[in-house]
A = this chain, B = another copy of it.
Amino acid sequence: MTTATLIDALKSLLEPGKLLTDSDSLNTYGKDWTKHFAPKPLAIAFPKSIEQVQAIVRWANQHQVALVPSGGRTGLSAGAVAANGEVVVAFDYMNQILEFNEFDRTARCQAGVVTKQLQQFAEEHGLYYPVDFASSGSSQIGGNIGTNAGGIKVIRYGMTRNWVAGMTVVTGKGEVLELNRDLIKNATGYDLRQLFIGAEGTLGFVVEATMRLDRAPKNLTAMVLGAPDLDSIMPVLHAFQSKLDLTAFEFFSDKALEKILARGDVPAPFDTECPFYALLEFEASTEEVANQALETFEYCVEQGWVLDGVMSQSQQQLENLWKLREYISETISHWTPYKNDISVTVSKVPAFLHDIDAIVAANYPDFEVVWFGHIGDGNLHLNILKPDNLSKDEFFAKCVTVNKWVFETVQKYHGSISAEHGVGMTKRDYLGYSRSAEEIACMQAIKAVFDPNGIMNPGKIFPL
């Protein structure tokens, strides 16, 4: 069968105009936020129903054409890149919230619902969808589930996994599975829903999901605290966690703050210069809670763990404090940073971070390392800025070596080579640093159960 005939057959399964092959579309829909891979899809398909997704998967099995799912394409691991003549299945036209249940506090979403859309929908109903991160204005629920998206509120609310009451998937065999029936308690064998969460579309595609919503938080209040060293951040976290239910506990280094303040549009939290800062957030639902936070702050100062601090007194101040953390990624993007998203258990963070700093300093003393991340979850974002005197190519060549050191250190600390960005293509060759050979073999055997012909997002998680 010629490519043209193949594409015609696929086109007949979709509504008119819902299969694109122009080069603009191929370029746009063939990639995500990673820039290392040249997109090269065969076509972009826009299904409008579960039946159409099922038809696409059957067509793909019949003709042995690989499929790549595409949500908001905000991924950072090339999980949604189509670089090998795949057909991209984009969920842009399956973007409706189909049902809301106020007693169950659930919203049934098509895969293409944008995270922000769900957040706003929840708000309109006096509720809250708590999974939140920088790309929530573009990322889609299907993609969030495929990568088990985390973000800034995980310490309180957990990952996307916690909010999926039920979901409908089309497996690599073209079967439709309705998983978990939106139940809170359901002890009827293996929870297949959990397998598809974080599977990056390699077992099948999420086409619909019933998401749980929560009570809206009351009077969110943030504190930014300056610490004399990283080791002090741990007892600070511990002290606050024993007293309050934190909704966030983030950190960033002096180098990160320096770049933010240089922008000129974000006020400094306070004058005292510190090597590390923590940003914590909680619901100051009563005055008593706010007082408890202040008492804990004072206790931390007495212990020498905190040098200075500030607490938001208004929504505006809350937002300004958050900018100190949220603007980092965008701000340092001017320095073409090497980025890595890794995690260890919370208690190992200081030792782990010292190790990486020492290795980089010993080998590349001219590299500027910027740390920030979700320290309350043990999730660190390592960023190394490109020195001006190095070309991009020279810099990234050196970073390949850094990668190896980082992953070796992750392995030594029994951590994860991908905390929340997934494996995709960028980390598939390093999977062995976090998962044993036996585990990887089990995962591949499980993939074969759901996708015997290997058409679902091949080359992601596992090598091609």
Contact = CB atoms under 8 A, between A and B. Distances in A.
Contact of A103 (B162, B190, B234): B234
A233 to B, nearest CB: 10
A2 interface: no
A148 interface: yes
A102 to B, nearest CB: 7
Question: Assembly of this chain: how many copies?
Answer: 2
A186 B286 contact: no
B189 A191 contact: no
Contacts of A237: 103
B103 A416 contact: no
Contacts of A106: 345
A310 interface: no
A344 B185 CA distance: 8
A191 B446 CA distance: 11
B177 A438 contact: yes
Contacts of A183: 343-345, 378, 415-416, 419
A286 B291 CA distance: 12
Interface in A411-464: 414-423, 427, 431, 434-436, 438-440, 442-443, 445-446, 449-450, 461
B104 A422 contact: no
Contact of A241 (B215, B345, B439): B215
A417 B183 CA distance: 11
A379 interface: yes
Nearest to A440: B189
A192 B191 CA distance: 11
A182 interface: yes
Given A185-B377, A190-B446, A446-B190, A178 B126 contact: no
- Which bucket holds chain A's interface residue count? 35 or more
A21 to B, nearest CB: 32
B416 A188 contact: yes
B347 A103 contact: yes
Contact of A346 (B184, B215, B414): B184
Interface in A375-395: 377-379
Nearest to A349: B103
A262 interface: no
A346 B187 CA distance: 16
A404 interface: no
Contact of A414 (B181, B191, B379): B181
A3 interface: no
A212 B371 CA distance: 27
A435 B188 contact: yes
Contacts of A449: 442, 445-446, 449
A53 interface: no
Nearest to A181: B414
Given A103-B238, A177-B436, A194-B194, A186 B416 contact: yes
Interface stretch (A86-94, A113-121, A195-203, A314-322): A195-203
Contacts of A20: none
B379 A442 contact: no
A297 to B, nearest CB: 18
Contact of A347 (B101, B215, B420): B101
A436 B189 CA distance: 12
Contacts of A190: 195, 198-199, 203, 443, 446
Contacts of A347: 101, 103-104
Interface of A: 101-106, 126, 147-148, 150, 154-155, 158-159, 161-162, 171, 175-179, 181-192, 194-195, 197-199, 203, 215, 234, 237-238, 241-242, 245, 285-286, 288-289, 343-347, 374, 377-379, 414-423, 427, 431, 434-436, 438-440, 442-443, 445-446, 449-450, 461
14 contacts: A177-B442, A181-B414, A184-B343, A187-B423, A188-B416, A188-B418, A189-B440, A190-B195, A190-B203, A191-B194, A194-B194, A215-B242, A286-B288, A442-B450
Given A181-B415, A183-B415, A188-B423, 19 more contacts: A101-B345, A103-B238, A103-B346, A104-B347, A106-B345, A177-B439, A181-B434, A184-B346, A185-B420, A186-B419, A187-B422, A188-B435, A190-B198, A191-B194, A192-B442, A192-B443, A442-B449, A442-B450, A445-B449
